[in-house]
Structure 1
Amino acid sequence: MKKRRWFSLFLSFALLLPLFSLTSADAYEDFTLDAKAGLLIEADTGEILYEKNAHQENFPASLTKVMVALLVFEAIDEGKIALTDSVTATESAFEGLSSDGSTANIVPGETMTVEQLLNCMLIVSANEACNILGETLYGSVDAFVARMNERATELGCEHTHFANATGLHNSQHYTTAWDLYLITREAMKHDKFMEICNSKSYTVPATNMTDKPRELHSTNFLISNWRARGYVYRDAQGIKTGSTPEAGYCLISSALRGSRHMISVVLGAERVTLEDGVTIQTRSFSETSRMFDWGFDNFVLRDILSSSDLVQEVPVALSSEASYVSTHAAEDISCLLPDNVEPNMLERTVTLTNDTVDAPVSAGDVLGKLTLSYNGKVYAETDLLALNDVSASWFLTAQRRVSDFFAKPLVRILLIAVVLLIAALVVYVTMFSRRRRYGHRRRGAAHSGYRGRRRRF
C-alpha cells in the first residue's frame, strides 16, 4: 500500500515538473545567428530582442545607400529638391565605379527625375544613381560623402565612416549593425522611402537616351521571387540588400505582423551550397526570416502599467496639510516580454530623486524613476510623477529657512566668534570693575590718620 502511495506521489510530481520549469524567462527558445553580426529590434519601442556583435565594425556594401536615400529625402523636406526634378547624369558621376557593380544602365547625359533615380538606387542598387544624386545635392561626390559622415555623427553613429556613396569596398568604409539601425530608423520616417524599398518592381519610362522603358526588379528575395525562389517572407517590408566579396551578404529588413513591427540587420552572411550540391542559399535572407520568426514566436506584447496606477508614496516636508504625496507612472507602458513571463513577474525598482520632497509640490512634478526588470534585464523605465498638489506651510518654511541659515558653516563661525567676543568682553568688564573697586580701597587706607588736637605738655 505504501509503495503505491509513493509511486502516485512520484508520478504527480513528474507531471507537474514541466509546469514549474516554465517559470523561468530562460525557457524561451535560444537563437544563434549564422552571420558576422546582427540585430533584431522592436520598431515601436526600440527594444533590442537579439544582438550579435552589434557594435563591431563591418563592411556594409550597398546598405550604404540607405544613408544616401536619407539625405535625399531630407533635402526634399527642406525644399532643396523635388521628386519631380529632372537630373542629367554627368561623366564624373561614373568615375571609380566598377564594371561589374550593380547598375541600372544609366549613361552619361541621360536625364531622369529624382524619383526615378531613387527607384534605381533602392530597388536594383544602382551605384551610378548614388553619385548622380550626390552631385546634384552637393556639387561633388566628395562633398556629398562628407555630409554622409556628418549626418552619421548627428544620428549618434559612433563606429561609422563612409569613403564613398555606393558601398563599393574600401578599407576605410565601415559601419556597425547598430549604426545602420540608427540610420534606417531615421530613413523609415519618410513614407516614400518605405514605399520604394517595398516595391517588387518599377518601370523607368523611356528617357532622352533610350526609346524603351526600363524594368527594375528588386534584389530583395524576401519580397520578390523574380530573381530567386524560396525566400519570400510574407510579413517582410523592404528594406535594402548589399553584398561584396569582402562584406559578405548583408540585409536590412523590417516585418509587420498584426500590430507588431520589427527591424533587422544582418551583416556578413554567407552564400552556401547545400548538401544536395545544387541548391545555393544566400544566408542573409534565410537568417533574417529565421530571426523574424524567433522574435514573433517567442515574445508577446503585453500591457505592463497604466499611467493611472499609483506606484509609491513619497514623504513630504514643510506642509501642514499632507505628510506624503502619491506618485504614478508618466505614461502607459507596454513592452515585448518572453512569452512565458507575465507582467506581475517583473521586478519594480523605484529610485526617488530625494527620499523626502519639500512642499510646495505640483501635480506632474518628477519625483523619481521606476524601472521594470526580470532576471537582470531591464524591460522598461519611466518617470514617477506627483499625483496632486501639496501646499507649503509658511511657518514650517520660515522655520526651515532660519534653521538652514544658522546651519551654514560661515554663519556658525561668525556666531562662535561673536560668542567668544561677548565672553571676552564680559570677562574684561568684570576684571576691570574689580580692579577699580579694590584699588580705591587701598588708596583710602594709606592716607587715613588721626586729625584731632595735639596735647601740649
Structure 2
Amino acid sequence: MKSDTSGNKKVIITLIFLLMINTFTVSDVTAKQLYPQEFETPEIEAETAVLMEFESGKVLYDQEMHRQMHPASTTKIMTALLLIENASLREQVVVSENAFGTDGSSMYLNLDEKITTRDLLYGLMVRSANDAAVAIAEYVAGSVENFADMMNSRAKELGAKNTNFKNPHGLTEENHKTTAYDLGVIAREALKNPKFRSVASTRRITLDWPEEEDEDRLLVNRNELLADYPGALGVKTGYTRSANQTFVAAAERDGMTLIAVVLSTSRNRLFEDAKELLDFGFEAFEQVEIFEQNDVITSTEVENSNQELELIVEESLSLPIPKMATEIEQRVDLEEQLLKAPIEEGEQVGSLDLLLEEEEIVSVPLYTKEDVEKAPRYGFWILAVMITIPAIFLIYKRYYELKSRKKFQEKLKNRY
C-alpha cells in the first residue's frame, strides 16, 4: 500500500454498515449507525469504487459508490448468475444470427452451431465473449430485451437499486448503467454459487470446436490477480471507451472474503487499484465470529410463569472488525420490560445491539427459544377455598341450628 510523501497522510474511512436481504446472507441484520476508524487511504485512480465484505455485505471503503457509471463487461456477472439460476449447464443452445453477429470480444460462435450452456458460461466469463452473452440471453428469456428485464428485476431483488441494464454484455448504451455498490451486491450473490465461483476463477480452458476438427477454442482470462494475488477468486474485467477500464475482484484470506469494485480507471492502474483496496481490507480488518446460529444470548423472567425464558439469535453472525478495535459491547433491548406468558417458540421479543467504541454497529433480532405456558392461577383457587370453607361452615351451622330447634319444639309438643 502506498503512503503519502509526507508520511503522515491519514483520512477517516467511514465503515458503512448496510442491510443485505438474503440473503446472508446474514438476514435480519440491520445497521443503525456509522462508526469511523483512522486508516491510511487506499490510493486508487478509479472514479468510483467500493470494498465490501462478502459474508455480511458490509462496506469497508466507499468512493462515490452510488454514482451511476457504464459497467462494460462487468455486466456479465449478472448474465452468468441468471444462466446458472435458470438453466442446467448440460443444455444445448443453437446459435442465432443475432448472437453470431454480435460486435466486440467473441468466442467465435458459428451460425446455427450447437453448444452447451456450460461452454457458453466459460466463454462469457473467461473470454468475455459478447456472442456468448447474446446466445445465453436468447436461450434463457427468448430475446435480449426480455433478458434485460430479467436482469433488472433480479437486480432490484438483490437491492441493486441504481442499476439499469439494457443488454447482457455491457456494450455501451445510453441508459445501460450501474454503480460500484450495486456491482458489489450482484457479485456477492453470484459468489454464493459454487458453479459461478469455479468458472469465475478459471485462468484458462480449452473447449471443443465442432466446426473445426483440427482446432479447439482456447479461452484465457485476462484477470491478472488470478496469477499473482494470493487468495484471488476472480471475478470479471471490462472495457469500453465510455466505461474506461472496469473490474470486479474478489479474494479470500484468513476466513475473510472481500469484494473490490473499481469503475473508470486506466489500463495501467486497473489491477493495482483492486489490489490497493483488497490489501487495505486484509490489513485493517479481521473477520470475527460474534455468535453462532441459535446461541443463547440472555434469559429473562416472564410474568404469569414459573420459568425463565432463554432468548436466542436465529442466524450466525460474523463481522469484519477493525484490528485496532477494542471489545464489542452487547446490549439487550426488549420490546416489553417484562414479558408476559403465554409465549410461543420463535417469537421475536427484542434485539441485541452490538456497540464498538460506544457506537452501535449492528442490531440483531432476539427470539424465544421455547414455548412458555401461563402458570395456573393458584391465588384464585386459594381465595376461593378460603371463602368457600367458611360459607359451608356457616350453612352447616345454620342447618344444624334449625334442625335442633325443630327437635326441641317437637319434644315440647309431645309433653303436652
TM range (shorter): 0.7 to 0.9
Q: Among 265, 269, 277, which residue is 2:265 paired with?
A: 269
2:73 corresponds, among 51, 62, 66, to 62
Which protein, 1 or 2, shows the higher relative CO under an 8 Å CA cutoff with sep ≥ 6? Answer: 2
Which of 346, 353, 361 lines up with 1:371 in the alignment?
Answer: 353
Q: 8 Å contact 2:43–2:276 — kept in the other structure?
A: no
Does the Cα contact within 8 Å between 2:256 and 2:286 map onto a contact in 1?
A: no
Cα shift at 1:150: 2.6
Q: Secondary structure at the match of 2:352?
A: strand
Matched letter for residue 58 of structure 2 = E
Give 1:174 deviation, angstroms: 0.5
Write the mapping of 1:51-450 to structure 2, written as runs, cut at 5 A: 51-76=62-87, 82-95=88-101, 97-98=102-103, 101-209=104-212, 211-224=214-227, 232-271=228-267, 281=268, 283-305=269-291, 308=295, 310-311=297-298, 313=300, 316-319=302-305, 321=306, 325=309, 327-330=311-314, 333-342=317-326, 344=327, 346-362=328-344, 364-375=346-357, 378-386=360-368, 390-393=372-375, 395=377
Query: Which contiguous aligned blocks of 4+ residues in structure 1 show a shift greater than 6 angstroms?
Result: none
CA deviations over 1:85-133 (Å, ceiling 9, x no partner): 33332222245x43xx212222323332222222111111111111122
**Structure 2 counterpart of 1:423:** none
Matched residue count: 346
CA shift, 1:301, in A, is: 2.2
Q: State the secondary structure of the residue aligned to 1:354.
A: coil
1:252 Cα deviation after fit: 1.2
Aligned to 1:36: 47
**8 Å contact 1:318–1:396 — kept in the other structure?**
no
* Deviation per residue, 1:145-170 (Å, 9 max, x gap): 22222322333321111111210111
Give the deviation of 1:334 after TM superposition: 3.4
Q: Tell me the secondary structure at the aligned position of residue 226 of structure 2.
A: coil
Work out the CA distance in 2 between the residues paired with 1:211 and 1:290: 44
In 2 relative to 1, CA 221–310 (structure 1 residues): closer, same or farther, beyond 3 Å?
Answer: closer
Query: CA offsets, 1:315-366, max 9 Å, x none?
Result: 64344x36x7564555554322111113x3x343433212222222456543
Structure 1 residues 31 and 376: CA distance shift in structure 2, 3 A: farther
Conservation of the 8 A alpha-carbon contact between 1:329 and 1:382? yes
Contact 1:204 1:215 in 2 (8 A): yes
Identity of aligned residues (%): 31
Return closer, same or farther for 1:150/1:107 CA change in 2, 3 Å cut-off. same
Which one has a bigger Cα radius of gyration?
A: 1
- 5+ residue gaps, structure 1, are 1-23, 77-81, 225-231, 272-280, 399-457
Asked if the contact 2:42/2:276 (under 8 Å) is kept, the reply is no
Secondary structure, in 3 states, of the residue corresponding to 1:26?
Answer: strand
**Which structure is higher in helix share?**
1
Describe the SS at the equivalent of 2:61: strand
Deviation at 1:293, TM superposition (A): 1.2
Residue 389 of structure 1: CA displacement?
5.8
SS in structure 2 at match of 1:372: strand
Asked if the contact 1:58–1:174 (Cα under 8 Å) also holds between the matched residues in 2, the reply is yes
Q: Is the 8 A contact 1:117 1:129 kept in 2?
A: yes
- Can you give the 5+ residue segments of structure 2 that lack an aligned partner in the other structure? 1-34, 381-416
Name the CA shift for 1:373/1:111 in 2 (closer, same or farther; >3 Å): same
